[in-house]
Amino acid sequence: MTGIISVVLLFATFGYFGGVAWPTLIEAVLHTTYRLALAYGIALVLGIALALLVGWSSFSDILFPIFDVLQNVPSFALIPLFIYFFGFTSEMIILFAVSSIIWPILFAVLTAIKSAHKDLNDAATIFGATGLRRISYYLAPLSFPAILTGSIVGIAIGWEAVIGAEIITNVAGFGDFIKEASASGISQSMIAGTFAILVIVFTVNRLVWAPLLAESSKHYAE
């Protein structure tokens, strides 16, 4: 991240970003970040709940291939359906992003559950992790590293989904901002916006994902 900030400061020193409408850019980036955060929260809850319920049930071997087919459907091929049902709205963009983010989380957790060693399953049963207690005391802790991995991949896909949907729908956000900047030939705005997104991504990775991954690795090693 230090390198990115250094490049931004270098560009600013030579007045490269003089024509950037910073208030408009910041507002656009915040709109996009808000939509992504909300979509991730919804996808996280739904993905974990569905994966735990499916992984816990006896139908996992049947449902797993069905989910695999569904996740391979190109997400942007479905955007006309989202527009038809929800219109050119912020809610449509959020729900569309949920449909993209949920799959890495769902499959990461399902894979973790299905690949768990049989001895762990037997030990969980012996120590009373049955019924709903099996989810909270065994499946959820077992899936924590997978949740982190799926979340990181899902959010990366989510950026693309949210920005792409904003470009298509012309709803206010970073996607719409760079579309207008491109049409106006203002390359400085596009570059400044890209730097802003990169700073957000690296900050979240450094302050959130890196510590959580380190904590997860430490407990897994134990």
Tokens for 147? 């949740």
Task: Please state which of the four CATH numbers 3.90.180.10, 2.60.120.560, 1.10.3720.10, 3.40.50.280 is assigned to the domain occupying 22-221.
Answer: 1.10.3720.10
The pTM (predicted TM-score) of the whole model is 0.83
Q: Is 4 exposed, middle or buried (0-12, 13-18, 19+ CB in 10 A)?
A: middle
Length of the chain: 222
d(CA 101, CA 161): 9
Q: Per-residue pLDDT for 58 more than 80?
A: no
What mean pLDDT is predicted for residues 75-94?
Answer: 92
Give a three-class secondary structure readout of 149-210.
HHHHHHHHHHHHHHHHHHHHHCCCCHHHHHHHHHHHCCHHHHHHHHHHHHHHHHHHHHHHHH
pLDDT band at 14 (very low <50, low <70, confident <90, very high): very low
Of 161, 128, 125, residue with least CA distance to 42: 161
Type of residue at 65: P
d(CA 60, CA 111): 11
Of 159, 157, 174, residue with least CA distance to 74: 157
Question: What percentage of residues in the chain have a pLDDT greater than 70?
Answer: 74
The tens digit of pLDDT for each residue in 180-196 reads 877 766 677 777 788 88
